[in-house]
């Protein structure tokens, strides 16, 4: 494992953020593929499972679109896939996660936990806090720019 002290810190920029995102996502997608799942399915299922109250199809699609900036048609396809896999079920106008959907998320969490620990484990808390503040600000600004471009 590489120590954080041994790394010469580059200046944070969009490229560095993208490289980190795709490296971490690549790890997650390896685990997801073993379970016949995709990144977008996992994000959508997690949104349904963690919702305080059940969401309508449109509400869930909107939440995922806001998070992933994905094409709404692709999100609708993902919802259909999750329904076909019986990971979500329609109950009236709302979508509900099934026990199988909750179980899949639990399995994915268990399988990714040791990987996550190896990737994040020895990073000092103050570095994580600083990175979190910067990433939150970049997300806020990028979302505002996207809103202005698409208005």
Q: Which tens digit of pLDDT belongs to each residue from 25-72? A: 999 999 999 999 999 999 999 999 999 999 999 999 999 999 999 999
17: Cα separation from own chain's centroid: 15
Residues 19, 20, 22, 27, CA torsion sign: positive
The pLDDT confidence band at residue 6, using thresholds 50, 70 and 90, is low
Which residues, other chains included, contact 123 with Cβ-Cβ below 8 Å and sequence gap of 6+? Answer: 4
The pLDDT confidence band at residue 93, using thresholds 50, 70 and 90, is very high
The pLDDT confidence band at residue 10, using thresholds 50, 70 and 90, is confident
Domains of the chain (ranges; CATH) run 26-116 (1.10.10.10)
């Amino acid at each position: 494992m590489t120590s954080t002290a041994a790394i010469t810190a580059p200046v944070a920029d969009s490229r560095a953020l993208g490289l980190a995102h795709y490296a971490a996502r690549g790890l997650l997608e390896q685990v997801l593929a073993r379970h016949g799942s995709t990144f977008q399915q996992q994000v959508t299922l997690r949104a349904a499972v963690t919702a305080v109250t059940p969401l309508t199809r449109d509400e869930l699609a909107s939440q995922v679109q806001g998070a992933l900036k994905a094409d709404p048609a692709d999100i609708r396809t993902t919802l259909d896939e999750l329904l076909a896999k019986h990971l979500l079920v329609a109950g009236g106008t709302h979508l509900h996660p099934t026990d199988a959907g909750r179980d899949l998320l639990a399995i994915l969490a268990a399988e990714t936990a040791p990987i996550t620990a190896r990737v994040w484990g020895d990073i000092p808390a103050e570095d994580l806090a600083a990175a979190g503040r910067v990433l939150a600000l970049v997300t806020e600004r990028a979302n505002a720019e996207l809103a202005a471009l698409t208005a």
